[in-house]
């Protein structure tokens, strides 16, 4: 991989202004459309030559070959010896997909049908709690067993016509206490979402929920469902097999909301809207597999990411949805991108020759504008920004507010591009200040501009469009991972902290000594012991 060539080009590009790259054709040429979405990356410092280099680098890394390997069920998660087939969960036609010579689709579709039946029964009141029809569903899970359904359930609020859905993830007892307090246990369904059914946060919260329910409900287990691959453990917890929805080891946690982990979302929006969500993702899969490089949206989104991170050295990227209901999308993408591509060793166990994936962060606009955009516009670090906005909102009677929202989104990328020169700043301040004071004041009002951003535009945030957007980002992460030569589908980096937390619990309770710990940890343990009741 020609990382040095890429870095040299990035260094050279630093001496030019993105605005100077614009001619009449650039906006269209540096944009991709797919399935009604428009991805505009013309406000980046990429030129056609470097884009060609990036496309060649993707080919050299065998992105097309690895892509086919993924879709066709090869075991591309080599450190865990697993296939990577979240795409099979949205393969609605059931076209055969084989793992170890066996078609996985009959089971996928059977599980989807079981989910639909159960969600339907809950939504229609045929499945009841001790006190009557289910009014509230509490999904207990963490990481991929929480972020996807929590993000998507909020995103699709206008489509809710089922029970209220709540999400509990943190082991902090405050989370579950606050969620359960206003609920009636007799009309609540608890979904324990955990692929492994061993995650300490989830199992602790599940036990708390069961204790809460057993105060008034005679058979609390009857109001529990489980989303897990570990049937022995769900049975040991007491959950009847008819309410256990399993998935195979080829569904990674952060890629899992398309299957059983999406059950709470299905409860909220119904089976038809859930299928629309799946078909949006499937449409993006089909596009990703078939489109030529320059017309391939996930590929181009990835190449822009590689350019900014590994080429230009920008260590972070901001995801800025101008869509309040996508408030959890940055957190969702943090797991998707950082758990997938935050790795310093390549698939073959060698050190990466370049930086791993970037830090991903963000907040919805316009809120972020009144918080951290100051740094994005005038700080010394460059933060590539990924804006996204819908042409239409759901609140027809508030279309003037939506116009204002769009105006703000487009204005931000324009401001980042153009900036404001010292001359413009002087003119602005001329009436108010003179001489040296004018100069000083003007300098504070200069915007360097020439700061890169991309904008993803969609017609309206429907279930189909949300599916397209999430699938777009999944494939972006995949391409970036292949180009870096890493395994995007394991997550060994989360293990050490888990092990140490387990070992610290008896130290905090006083059952074991802090003797073997480092000085800082010992001091923190002492403080906790002294200050807790």
| DSSP-derived 3-state class of residue 198 | coil
Asked whether 457 and 388 are in contact (CB, 8 A), the reply is: yes
Contact set for ligand F6P, span 248-277 (CB under 6 A): 253-254
Kindly state the smallest distance separating residue 489's Cβ from ligand F6P, in Å.
Answer: 10
287 is annotated as an active-site residue: no
| Among 73, 143, 163, 358, contact with ligand F6P (rule: CB under 6 A) | 143
Q: Which of 339, 363, 386, 480 is catalytic?
A: 339
Binding of ligand F6P at residue 142 (CB under 6 A)? yes
| Among 42, 309, 471, 491, contact with ligand F6P (rule: CB under 6 A) | 491
How far does Cα 190 stand from its chain's mean position? 24
Contact set for ligand F6P, span 411-430 (CB under 6 A): none
> Which residues make Cβ contacts (< 8 Å) with residue 401, sequence separation at least 6?
393, 395
Window contacting ligand F6P (CB under 6 A); options: 97-105, 141-149, 444-452, 472-480: 141-149
Give the residue among 471, 469, 478, 462 at the shortest CA–CA distance from 88.
471
| Sheet containing 164-168: order of strands | 164-168, 136-140, 188-193, 224-227, 244-245
Window contacting ligand F6P (CB under 6 A); options: 3-11, 143-151, 431-439, 503-511: 143-151
233 is annotated as an active-site residue: no
Binding of ligand F6P at residue 369 (CB under 6 A)? no
7 is annotated as an active-site residue: no
Helix-strand-coil split of the chain, %, nearest 5: 55, 15, 35
Asked whether 118 and 127 are in contact (CB, 8 A), the reply is: yes
* Maximum C-alpha span of the chain: 81
Q: Which of 350, 370, 400, 432 is catalytic?
A: 370
Asked whether 437 and 247 are in contact (CB, 8 A), the reply is: no
Window contacting ligand F6P (CB under 6 A); options: 192-200, 308-316, 349-357, 423-431: 192-200
State which residue, 15 or 497, has the beta carbon closest to ligand F6P: 497
The CA distance from 208 to 240, in Å, is 19
Cross-strand partners of 31: 40
Please give the residue whose beta carbon sits closest to ligand F6P in the complex. Answer: 253
| DSSP-derived 3-state class of residue 390 | strand
The CA distance from 420 to 449, in Å, is 7
The residue count for binding ligand F6P (CB under 6 A) is 14
x/- mask, ligand F6P, residues 194-233, rule CB under 6 A, reads xxx--x--x-------------------------------
Give the residue among 169, 487, 119, 528 at the shortest CA–CA distance from 331.
169
Kindly state the smallest distance separating residue 155's Cβ from ligand F6P, in Å.
Answer: 19
| Among 144, 163, 321, 467, contact with ligand F6P (rule: CB under 6 A) | 144
Length of the chain: 533
Window contacting ligand F6P (CB under 6 A); options: 139-147, 303-311, 428-436, 439-447: 139-147
Q: Which residues bind ligand F6P (CB under 6 A)?
A: 142-145, 194-196, 199, 202, 253-254, 339, 491, 494
Please identify every residue annotated as catalytic. 339, 370, 498
């Amino acid at each position: 991989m020609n990382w040095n060539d890429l870095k040299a080009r990035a260094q050279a590009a630093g001496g030019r202004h993105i605005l100077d790259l614009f001619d009449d054709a650039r906006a269209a040429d540096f944009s991709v459309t797919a399935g009604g979405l428009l991805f505009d990356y013309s406000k980046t410092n990429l030129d056609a030559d470097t884009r060609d280099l990036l496309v060649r680098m993707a080919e050299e890394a065998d992105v097309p070959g690895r892509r086919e390997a993924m879709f066709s069920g090869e075991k591309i998660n080599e450190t865990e010896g697993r296939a990577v087939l979240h795409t099979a969960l949205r393969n609605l036609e059931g076209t055969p997909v084989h793992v170890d010579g066996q078609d996985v689709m009959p089971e996928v579709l059977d599980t989807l049908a079981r989910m639909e039946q159960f969600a339907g029964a809950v939504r229609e009141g045929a499945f009841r709690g001790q006190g009557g029809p289910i009014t509230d569903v509490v999904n207990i899970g963490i990481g991929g067993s929480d972020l996807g359904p929590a993000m998507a359930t909020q995103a699709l609020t206008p489509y809710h016509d089922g029970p209220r859905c709540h999400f509990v993830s943190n082991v902090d007892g405050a989370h579950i206490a606050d969620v359960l307090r206003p609920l009636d246990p007799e009309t609540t369904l608890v979904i324990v979402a955990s692929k492994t059914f061993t995650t300490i946060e989830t199992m602790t919260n599940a036990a708390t929920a069961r204790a809460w329910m057993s105060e008034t409900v005679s058979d609390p287990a009857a109001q529990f469902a489980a989303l897990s691959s570990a049937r022995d453990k769900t049975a040991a917890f007491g959950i009847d097999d008819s309410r256990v929805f399993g998935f195979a080891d080829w569904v990674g946690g952060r890629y899992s909301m398309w299957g059983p982990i999406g059950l709470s979302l299905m409860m909220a929006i119904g089976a038809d809207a859930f299928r629309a969500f799946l078909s949006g993702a499937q449409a993006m899969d089909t596009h990703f597999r078939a489109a030529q490089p320059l017309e391939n949206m996930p590929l181009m989104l990835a190449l822009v990411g590689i350019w900014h991170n590994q080429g230009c050295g920008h260590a972070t990227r901001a995801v800025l949805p101008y869509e309040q209901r996508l408030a959890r999308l940055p957190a969702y993408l943090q797991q998707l991108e950082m758990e997938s591509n935050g790795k310093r060793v390549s698939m073959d166990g060698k050190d990466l020759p370049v930086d791993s994936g970037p830090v991903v962060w963000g907040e919805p606009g316009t809120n972020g504008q009144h918080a951290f955009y100051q740094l994005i516009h005038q700080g010394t670090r460059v933060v590539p920004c990924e804006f996204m906005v819908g042409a239409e909102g759901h609140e027809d009677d508030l279309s003037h507010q939506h116009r204002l929202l769009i105006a703000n989104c487009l204005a931000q990328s324009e401001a980042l591009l153009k900036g404001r020169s010292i001359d413009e700043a002087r003119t602005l301040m001329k009436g108010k200040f003179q001489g040296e004071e004018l100069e000083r004041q003007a300098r504070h009002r200069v915007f360097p501009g020439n700061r890169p951003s991309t904008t993803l535009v969609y017609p309206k945030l429907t279930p189909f469009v949300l599916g397209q957007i999430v699938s777009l980002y999944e494939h972006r992460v995949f391409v970036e991972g292949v180009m870096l030569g890493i395994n995007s589908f394991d997550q060994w980096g989360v293990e050490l902290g888990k092990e140490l937390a387990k070992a610290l619990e008896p130290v905090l309770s006083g059952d074991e000594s802090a003797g073997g710990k480092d000085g800082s940890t010992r001091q923190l343990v002492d403080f906790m012991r002294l200050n807790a009741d």
